[in-house]
A and B are shown apart, each in its own frame.
Chain A
Amino acid sequence: MTIACPIPVAATERVQLGHGSGGKMSAALLRDCFLPHFTNDILAQLGDAAVVEIGAQSVAISTDTFVVQPLEFPGGNIGSLAVHGTVNDLAMMGATPRWLSAGFVLEEGLPFDVLDRIVRAMAEAARAAGVLLVTGDTKVVERGKADGVFINTTGIGVRTVDFAPAPTRARAGDAVIVSGPIGCHGIAIMTAREGLAFEAEVVSDSAALTPLVERLRDRVGDAVHTLRDPTRGGLASALNEIAAAAGIGVALAEEMLPIPGPVAAACEMLGFDPLYVANEGVLVAFVAEAQADAAVEALRGHPLGRSAVRIGRAVTAHPGMVILQTAIGGNRVVDMLPGDQLPRIC
């Protein structure tokens, strides 16, 4: 019997929204379209930020573009998000964020009061995170050619040699710790976008994670092997990426996952899994077991990390895979999604 697949392998001849989801389609876009042309030793690391050496100084560079809708949402707006997103990418490499650039693409017709609120929030977020916005650019495009405002930020941070967390450094035996409740940002955006109303408003967790990273660095130091902020694609995608990069398995305990009631309720209603919902003010840390309790304590000493909790551990079994032990005692694979999470029929 010959078996022919009716679906051509290269069927996706155009860019789809799923290519921006942070899932398997995003990874394929990088692998097939960008990396073959751009690759070099630094880019090939594929960390949240690139780390380069300038003389004796280790410098982290990261860039991120923000296209969120709605522009303003409970807990922040595109301006504060544009600062937090880039600052956090630097912090996840153990760097102290110092300087920021900002590029704005403005759509003709954007109300000035909206832009003003965005800029103010951005300035306030930068001040709070201790970064200086030192250069920028502005373009205006015709109505309909952009969605209100798009913002790109690039950040530069400095790193000390003795604190260098990286996805490849996670090792079997490490404790897996999250710094706070998951799913808040994505659900806040989704409910604002769809005009859905739930009993309790879900507020985005958007925040600079630098204070948490500083506490980890000062209290636990190099026992912190890996840091990641699970943004788009959620905790599941971040853990899968780390498992693949480090060649370890990740074993999660469902009952330990900090999922706030309103997030769980919204996910039930919408047919989403909170493990795949975006966060903007949460980090996941892989820490040597001997220092794990100290790391949790260090995080809990800051308001952003007061709900910090262990959710699992890195294991030698099932390398490259994330397995969740359910509250009932079964196991399931927590895979990366192909593209965007889609609401289910029933």
Chain B
Amino acid sequence: MKYLSEYRDPALARTLVAEIKATARRRWVLMEVCGGQTHTIVKQGLDELLGDVVEMVHGPGCPVCVTPLEQIDKALALAARPDVIFTSFGDMLRVPGSECDLLQVRARGGNVRIVYSPLDALELARKTPDKQVVFFAVGFETTAPANAMAVWRAHELGVKNFSVLVSHVTVPPAMTALLESPDNRVQGFLAAGHVCTIMGWTEYEPIAAKYRVPIVVTGFEPLDILEGMLLAVRQLEEGRHEVENQYVRSVRRDGNQPAQDLVSQVFELVDRNWRGIGPIPRSGLGVRAEFAAFDAEKRFALDDIHTAEPSECRAGDVLRGVLKPLDCPAFGTMCTPEHPLGAPMVSSEGACAAYHNYGRYRSAV
């Protein structure tokens, strides 16, 4: 496949693996921020290839994992309403709320549909004027521009029956929260390439300087990730702590300005709860007052839905790299991919779900 297979070349991958091993004089702890990167690492078994020189801690950048229980419960309440068509990206459908998930709401008669773009949801609203169409706007800075665009278009077109249930989060506050934690073990980051495609990397420069950690903006294919690891290990070995860009084919220092403008026109920074981590100040995006008419939380008065995260879940410790999933008392017993207790077991990209598979494999051989 053009522009993909080039970044999956096994011979080049082996060269990079050898170079990382030759560069590292000790074992370093790196965190890949984005769930898409975790997916590649797990799918290709990269962590296994480099386990003796690099320990990968899987970061909080899985939007499915970190969407707080309370927002899921609000989604479930909306989806159950007879006047609502609830639209979402596919992988939110199986994420459990307090009592059930969106697939179960659908089985009970709720109108829940998978869309590939928020603009498809807006189009659905225009075609079905007798229904309220709600889109579940989740994700990091990557999905924010398209979601902002849907709200902006709905405003332009005067669409009265479209709204968004927002649970957007942003990367830098989460990285800072992890680094501020007294038991943090992460020594370097692979920053999320697609987030940086939108945002650029200027906001990571003060983080790298203040906490003296290398941050490498990294893509998602196996060679991207291996090269990102190599750049981070090189910095660590040389005592540098800079922001470097591995993902040069996609990311510029200032990012995508029109996309940023659109996001800040529609959304503003708000405090946000992260599933498994807890509240992080000014770490999320919420709908600005000018667009409040398109905010599902205001339109449907969801303020009385309050859900506490289960206290048994130690996902925060896992995401900080201080607890290995296998050492969690709930792992594999109370908490499985079919019945997850918390964030990292929810999605196939989550650290606990990954270990659930690998642990089974490693104990089998």
Residues of A in contact with B (beta carbons under 8 Å apart) = 1, 3-9, 11-18, 24, 194, 249, 255, 261, 264-265, 268, 270-271, 317-319, 321, 323, 326-333, 335, 338-339, 342-346
Contact = CB atoms under 8 A, between A and B. Distances in A.
Given A4-B312, A11-B99, A328 B222 contact: yes
A165 B193 CA distance: 49
23 contacts: A5-B334, A6-B341, A7-B340, A11-B99, A12-B104, A14-B107, A18-B103, A261-B1, A265-B1, A318-B365, A323-B361, A326-B45, A331-B48, A332-B42, A338-B94, A338-B337, A342-B90, A343-B116, A344-B39, A344-B91, A345-B91, A346-B34, A346-B36
Contacts of B49: 328-330
B46 A328 contact: yes
Contacts of B310: 4, 6
| Interface secondary structure of A, over-half rule | loop
Contacts of B334: 3-5
Interface string B95-111: 01011100110111000
Contacts of B17: 329
B90 A330 contact: no
A255 B104 contact: no
Interface stretch (B77-85, B136-144, B153-161, B231-239): B136-144
Given A3-B334, A265-B1, A332-B43, A339 B114 contact: no
A270 B117 CA distance: 12
What range describes how many residues of B lie at the interface?
35 or more
A326 B108 CA distance: 41
B293 interface: no
Contact of A343 (B1, B114, B337): B114
Nearest to A8: B99
Contacts of B8: 327-328
Contacts of B365: 317-318
Interface of B: 1, 4, 8, 10, 13-14, 17, 34-36, 39, 42-49, 63-64, 89-94, 96, 98-100, 103-104, 106-108, 114, 116, 138-140, 142-143, 194, 222, 310, 312, 329-330, 334-335, 337-341, 357-358, 360-361, 364-365
Contacts of A16: 103-104, 106-107
A91 B329 CA distance: 48
Given A326-B43, A330-B46, A343-B91, 7 more contacts: A3-B330, A6-B98, A6-B310, A13-B104, A17-B107, A318-B364, A345-B138
